[in-house]
Chains A and B, each alone.
Chain A
Amino acid sequence: MSSNKKYWKSVEELNENSSIVETLKENEFVNEIPTDEFLGDKDTLGASSTTRRDFLKYVGFSTAAASLAACEGPVIKSIPYVVQPESIVPGVANYYATTIADGFDFASVLVKTREGRPIKIENNNLAKTHNSANARVNASVLGLYDSLRVKGPMKGEAAISWDTFDAETNQKLTDLKNAGKEIVLLTQTYASPSTSKLIAEFKEKYGNVRHVIYDAISESAALDAFEAKYGTRGMASYDFSKATTIVSVGADFLGDWQGGGFDSGYAQGRVPKNGKMSRHIQFESNMSLSGANADKRVPLTPSQQKQVLAKLYSLVVGGSAATDLPEHINTAVQNAASELKRAGSNGVLVTGIQDVNAQTVALAINESLTSKAFDTTSPILTRQGNNEAVATLVADMKAGRVGGIIMSGVNPMYTLPNAADFAEGLGKTELSIAFSMKADETSTVAQYIAAAPHYLESWGDVEFKKGHYSLMQPTIRPLFDTRQFQQALLLWTGSDANYRDYIKDTWGTSILTGSSFNKALQDGVYVGRIATETIDTTSSSEGSTIDDLLGASTSTATAVSGGSAARALASSAKSNGMELSLYTKVGMGDGQQANNPWLQEFPDPITRTSWDNYLTISAADAASLNLVNEHVATGALNGSYADLTVNGNTLKNVPVIIQPGQAKGSIGLSFGYGRTAGLKSDMMTGVNAYALYQDFNTTQNVSISKASGMHEFACVQLQNTLMGRGDIIKETTLEVFNTKNKEYWNPIPKVSLNHEETPVTSPDVDLWDEFDRSIGHHFNLSIDLNACTGCGACVIACHAENNVPVVGKEEIRRSRDMHWLRIDRYYSSEDTFAEDDTKKEEFSGLSGDKGSLGGFAELENPADNPQVAFQPVMCQHCNHAPCETVCPVAATSHGRQGQNHMAYNRCVGTRYCANNCPYKVRRFNWFLYAQNDEFDYHMNDDLGRMVLNPDVTVRSRGVMEKCSMCIQMTQKTILDAKRDGREVKDGEFQTACSAACSSGAMVFGDINDKDSKVAKLKEDDRMYHLLESVGTKPNVQYHTKVRNTTEA
């Protein structure tokens, strides 16, 4: 029926005689269209050389040209080598062992290169120490292809040649030497025997030379304490696999505490074996990775931490400590002390308080426990910085007492709280050279930028721990006209040797003692005789050695005894108002890789926020300061801004995130953000926390005030609690695990079939028919929630292996993140997850006290000090995959080997699969992320694209993608075996994530090989599948998290 409705344009139409109505009837448009403005301009139109006919010709020609061009295939050129290097076969990867030593991250790594391009970092399993590449190390390969690298030496703004550089700097250095002025070498910690020797030679030649080692994030307190007690400037090394009771006071030892790298040892002790696992008690103010993994976590302010440590000393070692701790903390400390004492030599205590007394106390407690996990004979050498030396240097520079300064691996203009003083001092020097890969904050104010190579283009050596050496070798020819610091030192000392020969020489004379240099280079690591000898002597006469050491420590004038240190500690613990704890994020560290889009997009394991740093504050403090977090219409998170003031220095507009578990009266802020130079504008995120890092102390008294405006966060997880859904992360306590059978703590979900409870694994209740997968390989990935610390190395490894694009902050805010592998982090709403489950069980009715409406709302809020659980989730490769059934074009299908395949070229982008996936692991390419100026990350420039893995397709716009279980890697393993005519051995099959997992949480393999590790894990009692009740039969297994809650 046609409509007779009359549409009114205005009330005027009621008046039949209105002139307006008449006009409206006549004219389609109320206002006249200004066609005359364009067409009436006869002059311009007449002057145009393009006639109407020409215009039509052009249109026709370009259409025809475009369609013709579309029909012709492009001509692709191939240029082979003129002389092909023997080791390079196009299409076959080469691996080189090398070492990263950027002053913050130190690790032995394997570098995978394809056609001469390094494309991925892997763990070097030959290394006995520092063998686990964390997220930053995994991402460091992208730094090689940073488009903003300095391409050659520069003087101010102008590019110069190395010849000019050499001539001018040699002249100036000689002048300085002749004038008797001081030359300062300000460097990162190299921990390099060859560099030390070289610097000594440089000192010898130029006389008045001072070498200052500067760690952006200082461990000076620990170094001073250790040096005073044991005579070596190093840090005690800890092996947490040997500890059954771990007490940490403010030490995030699963993060970057004292150089990091302790997580694999820790994880070993966390997996229940023979009914035993380690117990971990954490006293801390910020919610850290260590706190999240702890069995018992006590939130307290930094000043309370000092008291706790003093008290622990008095309880474990003896003496008294005057403390005024609240009752619940006091009890916790007493319990911790008694547990430590009971554990005896199996106990260990660590602290992250930046205070010499605190570190001395920690050493003394471990000494008194004779802790097995505690090793002073082979101290860690990867931090050497000295706070006092740096402070003196800045003062001297300001006073004009420094003639020349040569910097390498440091960025003091960014990392010093008193950067302005440093800048002033730098202006007073006659020569300033910065070895840097970037025109960063410091190098731009130095006279010369000496373009430095990336570590993958350099030679070097590192002594991680005393006696544990590692070699760095180039894996690619230098991309730019660069020269490394050591090579420059060699030239300045008048030597014409290259640094490689210098290292070889140094190693030959003092390290290798007859072993082959080439073997060491191939392995990447070498364990020197010094270490083994020392171990031998300690094992033969352990007691006497420790006595000697103790004797030495007491006789040293500077050494402070544990007791007096503890008393000093307790009395120094004064606080007024809010206390700030500065920390480093797993993703960004000290901030030198801030231009790395992988790391910017890497979600923080705790807050799950990417592209930012922020103030973490407890809910109570936030409420009292009127600071809020709220979700906008898209679900994305916004937070208030706050201004922070420390000793008169104000940091403005710091975004605030309310952090469950943050101790009341404390706030946290991470380093590494707020860079301003040498990076793309998209990467200039966050605020610079170094401005508040006064006296290199990570804890500061701070005043905080609300600022106007709201900050937009890019969180990848907006639902923070489990809501009592215990089947997502299954948990139990060690006690239950040891005493009850599996059905009690890890039951298989049941569904009703003809009113009978039937296990969901039964074929009777299955919607799908079972396929025979018993022949050939059947891949399974096992994830142990006990061993997983949430470090995120797997996330970056997956990025690198699978060409996962970076989408940027705006897209993340729209929940369009592309991570194939995410690590979900859940908080409990009650004190524990178990209580959440109980609460949900006890709901009755909709409203009321126990009503589900109010109840679920409550469950959405995390507790003040929640339990935390991490769960890596990737495509579960369901044997009965819901995504496969709904794909209209059969783009996703199942393979016999258990993988859920995704054929990108077949996908038409309906996204049905993503909607039908219960695990939400499928990712849609909303845009073309490669070669698109809107996404100006590494895939948008020729250099950055060199990191792409040539075996994996770069997905285009409009297709769905997801974890492939690294099918390119399993296929390669199979092919290698076929070519060799042998069976595949257990452990050969790997995925990027399982290979990157140094804690052993992820194990990949073939369950049809009954002797394989993963097949045994599948039969383990702790094994369960995610959302098993859905009946998807995933090929990813999870292992129930067991918490050691047994209080002493």
Chain B
Amino acid sequence: MKKPYQSLEDNSTNNMIQVIYRQLASKIPYLGLVILLTFSTSLTAQEGDPVKGKTLFNTNCAACHNLDRPMTGPALRYVQARLEEEQGLGRDWLDKWIRNSAGMVKSGDAYAVQIFNEYNGTAMTAFPQLSDQDISDILAYTATDPPKKEEVVKEDGGGDDQGGVSNKLILGALAILFALLAVALVLVRQTLNRFAQEKGIEVAAKDKSLPIWKAFVQNQFLVLVTVIFFLLASAYFVYGYLSQIGVDQGYQPVQPIHFSHKIHAGDNGIDCKYCHSSARVSKHSGIPSLNICMNCHKSVYEYNGETTDKYNKAFYDAEIQKLYAATGWDGQNYTGEPKPVKWVRIHNLPDFAYFNHSQHVEVAGVQCQTCHGPVEEMEVMYQHAPLTMGWCINCHRETNVKVEDNAYYTKIHEELSKKYGVDKLTAAQMGGLECGKCHY
């Protein structure tokens, strides 16, 4: 267990191998935390297991409670100790409360009523299924000390900078070297010439043949061919330029809130259609309304995943705060003044083209990524596909229609298969290339 720690010490003094250990270095604090937890566990082992407790806490309590800040219910760190100190209430009271808080409020228990009123009369869900040991575990978890805010290890950045400078230095040095070499060669040549002159050797003058450009100009055929070549080439580029007008592949605007699809769809594996639910029934995939965001962000108020320098924890937490501001929440209070988010629309199909998400997503079962690219890897969303008609048509030519288990297709599939002599039908064979299917 000690070795990695040791290597960190090494690391700080040795820049040469820092690359290998950089990842590890960032994980050291967590590791430290685990060690810390392990030790503290052994100290309070007779009460409960905080590791088990954490799991139980996350499944049962985390929707309404946090260790360090009040949410729907109060903050729970050191709850047992605090109760003991401040109210003189013991474990019995806690057990009763957890298993049947409503009953306690009804029975008129003073502190129970106080808590109930303090939290807007929201009754806590009863957990009669929790055993004594479970409660002990949870309480053990709540009794753990908060992880110390670790100093952010800074030395990595320095290394990076140095690397950059050294590369430039090497390149610069090489350039100077080559320049010196060239100068030296010129000098050598001059010196040799001088020697030759002094010795009276006639340096053979070059044949005054026609320069190549004049020869070129005189050859009219060659000029014609070249002109034609250049005309064709420029026509090619002009055509290329014109045909990309309005094609915004790679369009990656800055959004008012830095929403990372990578974190949501990638790291957390949230299904696309959880947020973009209208894709199932509508022509629009829909930009989720903010109440969808708040389903999770009601309790997810900070970011604890991987970070980079640019996108660090403070950055992400600030973005979450922007969401709260947009929904009209100011810290803990509802201001009643939501400020709807003006997202920048990325995929802009022209008005004369009709596209229906539900047809593709629900009927055809096309994966979102087919058109939108690796969204789950996109820190900043961009337009993956060109969204040109050629691109649509190609897909319609190549993609088979999903006819299985769909009574709509049974008859037409049978008849068309017979007609074309194939088993699988492409969207094109089904009539998916007709103008009027998309343009009306």
Q: Do A and B come from one complex?
A: yes
Binding site for B on A (CB under 8 A): 71, 73, 75-84, 89-92, 772, 774-776, 891, 893, 895-897, 899, 901-906, 951-954, 964, 967-968, 971, 974-975, 977-984
Residue pair B248, A73 in contact (C-beta under 8 Å): yes
Residue pair A78, B328 in contact (C-beta under 8 Å): no
Residue pair B351, A979 in contact (C-beta under 8 Å): no
B90 interface residue per 8 A CB criterion = no
CB-CB under 8 A for A905 and B278, given A83-B291, A895-B436, A983-B407: no
Other 19 A-B pairs with CB < 8 A, given A84-B292, A967-B440: A79-B341, A82-B289, A82-B290, A82-B326, A82-B327, A83-B291, A90-B278, A90-B282, A92-B281, A893-B436, A895-B434, A903-B439, A905-B350, A967-B436, A975-B359, A978-B406, A981-B405, A982-B408, A983-B408
Q: How far is the CA of A227 from the CA of B75 in the complex (A)?
A: 77
B206 interface residue per 8 A CB criterion = no
Give the segment of B62-70, B99-107, B307-315, B411-419 that binds chain A: B411-419
B283 interface residue per 8 A CB criterion = yes
Across the interface, A982 reaches (CB within 8 A) one of B248, B287, B326, B407, namely B407
Residue pairs across A and B with Cβ atoms less than 8 A apart, 26 shown, are: A73-B248, A77-B343, A77-B344, A78-B343, A79-B342, A80-B290, A80-B341, A84-B291, A84-B292, A90-B278, A91-B282, A895-B435, A901-B434, A901-B436, A901-B440, A902-B436, A902-B439, A903-B439, A904-B439, A905-B352, A978-B363, A979-B362, A981-B405, A982-B408, A983-B411, A984-B408
B147 interface residue per 8 A CB criterion = no
Q: In the complex, what residues of A have CB within 8 A of residue B121's CB?
A: none
Residue pair B434, A893 in contact (C-beta under 8 Å): yes
Question: Which residue in chain B gives the minimum CB-CB distance to A972?
Answer: B356
Which residues 273-327 in B have Cβ within 8 Å of A in the complex?
278, 281-284, 286-292, 326-327
Residue pair B435, A71 in contact (C-beta under 8 Å): no
Q: How far is the CA of A953 from the CA of B350 in the complex (A)?
A: 10
B437 interface residue per 8 A CB criterion = yes
Q: How far is the CA of A981 from the CA of B406 in the complex (A)?
A: 4
B253 interface residue per 8 A CB criterion = yes
Q: In the complex, what residues of A have CB within 8 A of residue B352's CB?
A: 903-905, 953
Question: Which residue in chain A gives the minimum CB-CB distance to B338?
Answer: A82
Residue pair A82, B282 in contact (C-beta under 8 Å): no
Majority-rule SS of A interface residues: loop
> Which of B286, B343, B408 is most buried by chain A, counting CB atoms within 10 A of its CB?
B408
CB-CB under 8 A for A80 and B286, given A896-B431, A975-B358: yes
Across the interface, B287 reaches (CB within 8 A) one of A78, A974, A980, A981, namely A78
CB-CB under 8 A for A89 and B344, given A895-B434, A981-B405: no
Across the interface, A901 reaches (CB within 8 A) one of B281, B287, B435, namely B435
B245 interface residue per 8 A CB criterion = yes
Question: Which residue in chain A gives the minimum CB-CB distance to B353?
Answer: A905
Shortest Cβ distance from A616 into chain B, in angstroms?
A: 40
Residue pair B289, A897 in contact (C-beta under 8 Å): no
Shortest Cβ distance from A185 into chain B, in angstroms?
A: 40
Question: Which residue in chain A gives the minimum CB-CB distance to B436?
Answer: A901
CB-CB under 8 A for A775 and B408, given A80-B340, A82-B289: no
Q: In the complex, what residues of B have CB within 8 A of residue A902's CB?
A: 435-436, 439-440
Across the interface, A964 reaches (CB within 8 A) one of B245, B326, B440, namely B440
B246 interface residue per 8 A CB criterion = yes
Q: How far is the CA of A73 from the CA of B250 in the complex (A)?
A: 13
> Which of A951, A975, A977, A982 is most buried by chain B, counting CB atoms within 10 A of its CB?
A975
Q: How far is the CA of A80 from the CA of B257 in the complex (A)?
A: 13
Residue pair B440, A953 in contact (C-beta under 8 Å): yes
Question: Which residue in chain A gives the minimum CB-CB distance to B416?
Answer: A775
Majority-rule SS of B interface residues: loop
Residue pair B289, A979 in contact (C-beta under 8 Å): no
Q: How far is the CA of A75 from the CA of B342 in the complex (A)?
A: 11
CB-CB under 8 A for A899 and B281, given A77-B343, A79-B341, A982-B408: no
Which residues 360-418 in B have Cβ within 8 Å of A in the complex?
362-363, 405-412, 415-416
CB-CB under 8 A for A981 and B286, given A90-B278, A906-B435: no
B348 interface residue per 8 A CB criterion = yes
Q: In the complex, what residues of B have CB within 8 A of residue A81's CB?
A: 289-291, 340
Shortest Cβ distance from A975 into chain B, in angstroms?
A: 6
Residue pair A978, B436 in contact (C-beta under 8 Å): no
Residue pair B363, A951 in contact (C-beta under 8 Å): no
Question: Which residue in chain A gives the minimum CB-CB distance to B401?
Answer: A978
4 smallest CB-CB distances across A and B, nearest first, come from: A901-B436, A91-B282, A84-B289, A81-B289
Across the interface, A977 reaches (CB within 8 A) one of B326, B344, B408, namely B408
Q: How far is the CA of A902 from the CA of B405 in the complex (A)?
A: 34
B354 interface residue per 8 A CB criterion = yes
Shortest Cβ distance from B346 into chain A, in angstroms?
A: 9
CB-CB under 8 A for A79 and B412, given A967-B436, A981-B405: no
Question: Which residue in chain A gives the minimum CB-CB distance to B389?
Answer: A905
Q: How far is the CA of A954 from the CA of B291 in the complex (A)?
A: 33
Question: Which residue in chain A gives the minimum CB-CB distance to B412?
Answer: A776
Question: Which residue in chain A gives the minimum CB-CB distance to B277?
Answer: A89
Binding site for A on B (CB under 8 A): 245-246, 248, 251, 253, 278, 281-284, 286-292, 326-328, 338, 340-345, 348, 350-354, 356, 358-359, 362-363, 405-412, 415-416, 419, 430-431, 434-437, 439-440
Shortest Cβ distance from B78 into chain A, in angstroms?
A: 37
Residue pair A896, B407 in contact (C-beta under 8 Å): no
Shortest Cβ distance from A970 into chain B, in angstroms?
A: 10
Residue pair B437, A971 in contact (C-beta under 8 Å): yes
Across the interface, B253 reaches (CB within 8 A) one of A75, A774, A895, namely A75
Question: Which residue in chain A gives the minimum CB-CB distance to B358?
Answer: A979
CB-CB under 8 A for A73 and B246, given A90-B278, A901-B439: yes
Q: How far is the CA of A809 from the CA of B149 in the complex (A)?
A: 77
Residue pair B291, A979 in contact (C-beta under 8 Å): no
Residue pair A79, B284 in contact (C-beta under 8 Å): no
Q: In the complex, what residues of A have CB within 8 A of residue B353's CB?
A: 905
Q: In the complex, what residues of B have CB within 8 A of residue A75's CB?
A: 253, 344
Residue pair B344, A895 in contact (C-beta under 8 Å): no
Q: In the complex, what residues of B have CB within 8 A of residue A974's CB?
A: 408
Q: How far is the CA of A82 from the CA of B339 in the complex (A)?
A: 8
Q: How far is the CA of A893 from the CA of B436 in the complex (A)?
A: 8
Q: How far is the CA of A90 from the CA of B245 in the complex (A)?
A: 29
Shortest Cβ distance from B28 into chain A, in angstroms?
A: 42
Q: How far is the CA of A79 from the CA of B289 in the complex (A)?
A: 9
Q: How far is the CA of A774 from the CA of B407 in the complex (A)?
A: 19
Question: Which residue in chain B gives the minimum CB-CB distance to A893?
Answer: B435
Question: Which residue in chain A gives the minimum CB-CB distance to B290?
Answer: A82
Q: How far is the CA of A772 from the CA of B412 in the complex (A)?
A: 13
Residue pair A897, B282 in contact (C-beta under 8 Å): no
Residue pair A979, B436 in contact (C-beta under 8 Å): no
CB-CB under 8 A for A76 and B326, given A897-B431, A901-B436, A979-B363: no
Residue pair A896, B416 in contact (C-beta under 8 Å): no
Across the interface, A73 reaches (CB within 8 A) one of B288, B348, B435, namely B348
Across the interface, A775 reaches (CB within 8 A) one of B342, B412, B435, namely B412
Shortest Cβ distance from A773 into chain B, in angstroms?
A: 11
CB-CB under 8 A for A91 and B278, given A82-B328, A979-B363: yes
> Which of A79, A80, A81, A974 is most buried by chain B, counting CB atoms within 10 A of its CB?
A80
Q: In the complex, what residues of A have CB within 8 A of residue B292's CB?
A: 84
Shortest Cβ distance from B218 into chain A, in angstroms?
A: 39
Question: Which residue in chain B gives the minimum CB-CB distance to A115?
Answer: B284
Q: How far is the CA of A954 from the CA of B292 in the complex (A)?
A: 33
Shortest Cβ distance from B175 into chain A, in angstroms?
A: 38
> Which of B246, B419, B431 is most buried by chain A, counting CB atoms within 10 A of its CB?
B431
Residue pair A76, B439 in contact (C-beta under 8 Å): no
Question: Which residue in chain A gives the minimum CB-CB distance to B280?
Answer: A979
Q: How far is the CA of A974 from the CA of B359 in the complex (A)?
A: 10
Question: Which residue in chain B gives the minimum CB-CB distance to A968?
Answer: B440
Q: How far is the CA of A775 from the CA of B431 in the complex (A)?
A: 11
Residue pair B440, A952 in contact (C-beta under 8 Å): yes
Shortest Cβ distance from A977 into chain B, in angstroms?
A: 5
Q: In the complex, what residues of B have CB within 8 A of residue A82's CB?
A: 289-291, 326-328, 338, 340
Residue pair B406, A80 in contact (C-beta under 8 Å): no
Q: In the complex, what residues of B have CB within 8 A of residue A983's CB?
A: 407-408, 410-411
